[in-house]
Amino acid sequence: MATLVKDASNERATLHNMFGLVRHRELIWQLTKRELSTRYKGSYLGVLWSFIVPLTMLLVYTFVFSVVFKGQWGPRFSEMRPGEFALTLFAGLIPFNLFAEVVNRSPNLILNVPNYVKKVVFPLEILPVVSLGAALIHSLIAGGVFLLGSLVFLKSISPTIVLLPLAYLPLLLLSLGLSWFLSALGVYIRDVGQGIGVFVQILFFMSPVFYPVSAVPQALRIVLLINPLTTILDSFRAALLWQESLPWGPWGLCTVVATAVAVLGYIWFARTKPGFADVM
């Protein structure tokens, strides 16, 4: 009985620390800025690359898929305006790229800062938050490029863009939870860093980034429907492009699942954190 009470008390303390991460907001912001500046250190254009790259990709998608292949997004959107198919792809890539960036970097987050683990009293749990913050800034810049493309090709901006923060919510929770889990697991199992890249690549093709769910045979569609990224990608397209409300039912379920992943990921990190120094 005493053990159960102690475990419950530990869980409450862990969750209290999770929700108390806001007290490190200044440190998180400073580390996020340093992360961004380090990434572009030595380049002439600096952070402008985070604008140039998505802009270039949007232009390439527009030429390849709208001009060459004249792509259409399923029977529901059988008559797309020039550039609209490219924007549809780009709207799906914005959330997926954020997810991929955070998850791919996670296994090495702790391994790359051994001094923080061994020599300094440092809140290691904020490192995934910093990684997510840097990825979010890149994502928002890509979103600005999308809006520019929307003005050029569609002559308008979707009024449902006000729902975009809600579309981001499950994406951020899911990415952060997986980052906490993988960054801790990567300390103990170094192979995680090798395998996660393959996993993300498979997930890229198993998510409706370049095709709609309706294009998948009915018997296999369940695979996409249980993938939380499917709802997230559709939510981004609804808010940014289709001028529709979010799919509230799937969005609500996805947000609940993402919240559970975030909580469990943090608990895993907190439970395994005391052994980091011994392993490293």
- Separation CA 126–CA 182 (nearest Å): 14
More confident residue, 154 or 169: 169
Quote the pLDDT of residue 77. Answer: 58
- List the single range of 107-111, 208-212, 238-242 with lowest mean pLDDT: 208-212
List CB contacts of 249: < 8 A, sequence separation 6 or more. none
Confidence of residue 134 (pLDDT cuts 50, 70, 90): very high
Q: What is the DSSP string of 51-113?
A: HHHHHHHHHHHIIIIIIIS---BTTTB-SPPTTHHHHHHHHHHHHHHHHHHHHHHGGGTTTT-
Domain limits of the chain? Answer: 45-279
More confident residue, 196 or 9: 196
Unique residue bearing structure tokens 């005493």: 2
- DSSP lists the bridge partners of residue 73 as 77
Quote the pLDDT of residue 259. Answer: 97
Distances (CA, A) of 94 to 44, 150, 175: 25, 14, 14
Query: At residue 115, does pLDDT exceed 70?
Result: yes
pLDDT tens for 14-67 read 766 676 688 888 999 999 999 888 877 766 666 677 778 777 877 777 777 666
Sign of CA dihedral 91, 95, 98, 103: negative
Enter the tokens of residue 186. 């990567």
Largest CA distance in the chain: 69
pLDDT tens for 137-159 read 999 999 998 999 899 888 999 99
- Separation CA 248–CA 235 (nearest Å): 9
Quote the pLDDT of residue 47. Answer: 65
- Separation CA 184–CA 208 (nearest Å): 29
Asked if residue 103 lies in contact with residue 179, where contact means CB atoms within 8 angstroms, the answer is yes
Quote the pLDDT of residue 171. Answer: 98
